[in-house]
Structure 1
Amino acid sequence: MDTNTLIQNFTKRPVWAQIDLDAAIANIRGIRRLVGPQVCVTSVVKANAYGHGAIELAKVFLGHGADQVAVACLGEAVELRQGGITGRILILGHTDGHRAEELTAYGVEPTVFRYEDALRFSRAAQAQHRTVNIHIAVDTGMGRIGYEPNANGIREIQAIAALPGLQLEGVFTHFAVSDSNTPADRAYTQAQYQCFTKFLTALAEVGIRPVYTHCCSSSGLLSQTAFHQNMVRPGILQYGYHPSGTVACTSFTPQPVMSLRCCITHVKWVHKGQYISYGRHFQATKETCIATIPVGYADGYPRLLSNRTEVLVHGRRVPQVGNICMDQCMIDVTDVPNVQIGDEAVLFGTQGEGSLPLEELAAAIGTIDHEILCNINRRVPRVYVRGGQVVRRVEYLVE
């Protein structure tokens, strides 16, 4: 599959995020095998499926092992519904009660941690003659959202459970440091879990027994197999990455799903002493062949990587040089013969025998894989590949 075949008839700029659906399928199947058939797998596809395309990835995950999907906000859920996703969708973040009519009409399941929101959901459910399934968030140490696990929390959850039109489907918490293996952090996660299970027991004592209880994202799913409960919420693992440098998947090898690619748009030789890009942070020390590629920080390629990363050309690593601009950046291809306009460049991924892992880029700027993936924005078309063939192209700006 050559570059011309990939990009023909789909792009206004020769830039694309290539999405390997075979890798996504292998990852979700690996997760299903790991947790077993009795645990509900809720695939997290928030933030446009971590940049991979929420509609396409939701279809793949639901078709190959996931039971339902989760997003961060109502707008993301509506996008999935309008894209043909008919299964259950859980919103993990806040949904204001003023949007109850819309939420109810789309059949989406909100997270609740305020009685006032639950009351509005109840009224909308009754008005539309529907039932709204809700999940209650409990704060056991993340310090973000959720009820405090105390008597006041129990009383308000009881009141919510009594509201007509609502089904208390789930109760969950979120671990703060399950991606760390230090003794202190493992103890903190253990304490969070104990707090959670104690609270579940207290809820059961007043007659509240949700269908699902859950606390494990990718890191907890891997590092705390005893904590799975009857639902897990895999995120980054689905997209081919270990949750952290210290918590890794050992039961299967995660396969990266996205690679970021483009075509070289300009090639020139510059003299010794000539500067490249804004700020004059790169100066040629000899006659140097510079290629320009049409990717910049406005596409999600971080400016912090300037002069600190490499790019694959003809299967070989070459240095990125000069400040990364909003829409373009430059690479030094002096040591690669016969580089021409139109040649493919890979900013992370594989090319021939060459490999440039995303983890390397993230480490260079002190961030996590998740952030770079999520920031590959909708200006970059997605090309979906399965069995070595392009099966779909999505250009958000022109569709």
Structure 2
Amino acid sequence: MESSKLGWCEINLGNLRHNLRELKRIIPVDTKIVPVVKADAYGHGAVEVTQVLLEEGVESFGVFSVEEGIRLREAGISVPILILGPSLHEEVDSVADHDLTPGIFTMEMAQLLSKTAMAKEKKIKVHIKVNTGMWRIGVWVDEAVQFVKEVLELKNLEVEGIFSHLATAYSLDKSYAYEQFRLFCKVIEELNQDGIYIPLRHIASSAAILDLPEMNLDMVRPGISLYGLYPSKMVKRRVELWPVMEFKTRVVYLERVPKGSSVSYGRSFIASKDIIVAVLPVGYAHGYMRTLSNKSEVLIVGRRAKIIGTICMDYSLVDVTDIEEVKINDEVVLFGRQLNERIEVDELADLCGTISYEIVCSVGNRVPRVYIE
């Protein structure tokens, strides 16, 4: 696909549709699917992604913050939006005004939401976050039952859901995930014994959807899997996922570098022979990580070529000595497919010592998204 940009990401909405349909295939029909579109849909563009998923029958979404929820509301997204992260005290008016559903875990926030809802003569739905061992946010399991009871006493709040998050669902050893699930179910059972039934119980994100189907409960929260990436190499390939994002640029300059010359900052690469170098107008400020310097490869005319020297803020250099047909303006794939060759996001993640999530989320708004079906 042609683009007038120096660097761009192609977002394949057809692949996004495919991934949702694949996940639906293994999720019980009576389990609610709430796609997670936080962090601008993991770098894919939250507004565009939600619009496509709505066409596919999705009825609600999950985001991290109130700010992310408001952005979707301003884009015309009217279905329920669950705030998975913390809400600030100064954001309670926005929660009510934009009909957002906050996750709550402190009585102070619950009381503030209740007060605000009464003043506005509205009812605010909430989901209660339970800490089962992740130790980020959430009311601790031993205190969760009493917390729920106290929240139920507050006016103009509706406890629609209760949820937790698994720390090791993507690992081979899932014993800790099973312990977290046991603790979560214990809270639910104690509530049920007291006659309290919360409609939406949820703990499963992508890894648990794929590997731990018994944890689907009333609702699941697929994130990375929607975007065509598996949570880790350890999870089962129960569905066929197609990557949604491809990161591309072009050759803007070709130069002959004589033997013994160094390229880029720090002289980390010195040519052992005369070489031809292609200059790419993409660097770490675009999200192509500096830790890939002298490690990664790119695709040019369907062939792999090595990144040489230190990746700069705005430039990367590639040795194309063995690819005679390279021309200025040729498309270059940083990750994605070109002809019969492919560079996977996981390949770059391994080289960086990180995970696929970070690779796609790091491609910032300096890089325009081009949407294709």
- Same-fold call, TM cutoff 0.5: yes
Secondary structure of the residue aligned to 2:370 is: strand
The residue number in structure 1 matching 2:29 is: 37
CA–CA distance in structure 1, aligned partners of residues 256 and 236 of structure 2: 44
Return the letter of the residue paired with 1:159.
Answer: E
**Match 2:255 to one of 257, 265, 268:** 268
CA–CA distance in structure 1, aligned partners of residues 363 and 338 of structure 2: 19
Return the letter of the residue paired with 1:213.
Answer: R
The residue number in structure 2 matching 1:392 is: none
Secondary structure of the residue aligned to 1:373 is: helix
The residue number in structure 2 matching 1:179 is: 170
Please say if 1:145 is aligned against 2:134: no
The residue number in structure 2 matching 1:219 is: 207
**Match 1:99 to one of 91, 96, 116:** 91
The residue number in structure 2 matching 1:132 is: 124
Asked if the contact 1:29/1:65 (under 8 Å) is kept, the reply is no
Please say if 1:110 is aligned against 2:97: no
CA–CA distance in structure 1, aligned partners of residues 335 and 244 of structure 2: 11
Asked if the contact 2:144/2:187 (under 8 Å) is kept, the reply is no
1:46-195 equivalences in 2 (<5 Å): 46-150=38-142, 152-182=143-173, 186-195=174-183
Please say if 1:210 is aligned against 2:198: yes
Residue 116 of structure 1 deviates from its aligned partner by: 0.7
CA–CA distance in structure 2, aligned partners of residues 187 and 141 of structure 1: 12
CA–CA distance in structure 2, aligned partners of residues 361 and 208 of structure 1: 48
CA–CA distance in structure 2, aligned partners of residues 176 and 89 of structure 1: 24
Deviates more, 1:274-283 or 1:58-67: 58-67
1:305-344 equivalences in 2 (<5 Å): 305-344=292-331
Please say if 1:231 is aligned against 2:219: yes
- Deviations 1:264-314, CA, capped at 9 Å, x for gaps: 111111100111100000111111110110111111111001001000000
Return the letter of the residue paired with 2:241.
Answer: P
- Deviations 1:342-395, CA, capped at 9 Å, x for gaps: 110000000111111111000111100000111111111000001xxxxxxxxx
The residue number in structure 1 matching 2:186 is: 198
CA–CA distance in structure 2, aligned partners of residues 62 and 136 of structure 1: 25
Please say if 1:355 is aligned against 2:347: no
1:277-316 equivalences in 2 (<5 Å): 277-316=264-303
Return the letter of the residue paired with 1:243.
Answer: P
> Where does structure 2 lack aligned partners over 5 or more consecutive residues?
none
Residue 65 of structure 1 deviates from its aligned partner by: 4.3
Asked if the contact 2:299/2:338 (under 8 Å) is kept, the reply is yes
- Deviations 1:84-113, CA, capped at 9 Å, x for gaps: 211110010000233111111001000000
The residue number in structure 2 matching 1:391 is: none
User: Percent same amino acid among aligned pairs?
Assistant: 38
Asked if the contact 1:70/1:91 (under 8 Å) is kept, the reply is yes
Return the letter of the residue paired with 1:313.
Answer: I
Secondary structure of the residue aligned to 1:262 is: strand
CA–CA distance in structure 2, aligned partners of residues 376 and 32 of structure 1: 28
Q: TM-score, normalised by structure 1?
A: 0.92
CA–CA distance in structure 1, aligned partners of residues 328 and 137 of structure 2: 51
Residue 149 of structure 1 deviates from its aligned partner by: 1.2
Secondary structure of the residue aligned to 2:35 is: strand
Secondary structure of the residue aligned to 1:137 is: strand
Return the letter of the residue paired with 1:163.
Answer: L
Return the letter of the residue paired with 1:145.
Answer: I
CA–CA distance in structure 1, aligned partners of residues 43 and 282 of structure 2: 16
Secondary structure of the residue aligned to 2:131 is: coil
Please say if 1:383 is aligned against 2:370: yes
CA–CA distance in structure 1, aligned partners of residues 21 and 57 of structure 2: 6
Secondary structure of the residue aligned to 2:276 is: strand
Return the letter of the residue paired with 2:125.
Answer: N
1:361-376 equivalences in 2 (<5 Å): 361-376=348-363
Give the superposed CA RMSD.
Answer: 1.1
Asked if the contact 1:41/1:65 (under 8 Å) is kept, the reply is no
Return the letter of the residue paired with 1:38.
Answer: D
CA–CA distance in structure 2, aligned partners of residues 65 and 375 of structure 1: 29
Number of aligned residues: 373
> Where does structure 1 lack aligned partners over 5 or more consecutive residues?
387-399
CA–CA distance in structure 1, aligned partners of residues 308 and 76 of structure 2: 43
CA–CA distance in structure 2, aligned partners of residues 227 and 153 of structure 1: 19
Secondary structure of the residue aligned to 1:44 is: coil
Moved over 6 A (4+): none
Residue 148 of structure 1 deviates from its aligned partner by: 1.1
CA–CA distance in structure 1, aligned partners of residues 111 and 312 of structure 2: 49
CA–CA distance in structure 1, aligned partners of residues 24 and 357 of structure 2: 21
The residue number in structure 2 matching 1:254 is: 241
